[in-house]
Amino acid sequence: MITPLLRPQEALDRDSVDLRLGTEFLVTRADRLPAIVPGRAQGAEFQRRIHVPLGRFLVLPGHQTALASTLEYIKLPSDLCAMVLTKSSWARTFTTIETAPWVHPCYRGCLTLEVANVSETPLVLYPGVRIAQLVILEVRLDDPVSDSPSGTFLGTIRPEPHSFRKPRDELGLLGVDRRFIREPLEARDE
């Protein structure tokens, strides 16, 4: 299920479905974040949610990124998975919209798109424009799989920030002594 599927005659291709840019964005507050350290410096203090209604636009400066959502809500059964790809017309503007393109079986929600302007020039983003393609693939399994949805970002309707363990916790699982793990956002006396 993909809804709303606006202008299906344009959205559906032999091998993909076009997805539109949604109205919700999450941008990093660079003035408060000198470096992104997975597991540290996350949340509303370091990120700002922006709603851009249809007909308005968001300017994404050169070499900047934002999380966005798709306008469409996706619901995959247990025997289908999907990949999200940048539409080639957008790629020619040096824009990428996915760095984590895999959509697992049983996923439900609006997809979060990682929009990156890798050019020098600011980029104008209009919610509602076709920006991505969804390629749906069949999953063949010998064992039956539950149709129960599961996953970290299940059921989202707006872009969601990253979610990591703190570096000390993640590396601690590998047996690294926590005392020897350095983090750039800490003040340390050496």
| pTM score of the predicted model | 0.70
* Residue 114 among the catalytic residues: yes
Among residues 45, 98, 114, 120, the one annotated as catalytic is 114
Report residue 179: phi and psi, to 5°.
-65, -20
Residue 135 burial by Cβ neighbours in a 10 Å radius (0-12, 13-18, 19+):
middle
pLDDT value at residue 187: 47
pLDDT value at residue 113: 92
pLDDT value at residue 165: 66
Rounded distance between C-alpha atoms, residue 97 and residue 68, angstroms: 9
- How confident is the model over 8-24, as pLDDT tens digits? 777 767 788 889 899 99
- How confident is the model over 58-96, as pLDDT tens digits? 999 998 889 999 999 999 998 999 999 988 888 888 888
Cα 4 from chain centre: 19
For residues 135 and 2, the model is more confident at 135
CB 74 within 8 A of CB 162: no
- In CATH, 2-180 is 3.40.50.300: no
Element (H, E) at 169: helix 167-172
pLDDT value at residue 189: 43
- Each domain of the chain, given as residue ranges in start order, spans 2-180
Element (H, E) at 9: helix 8-11
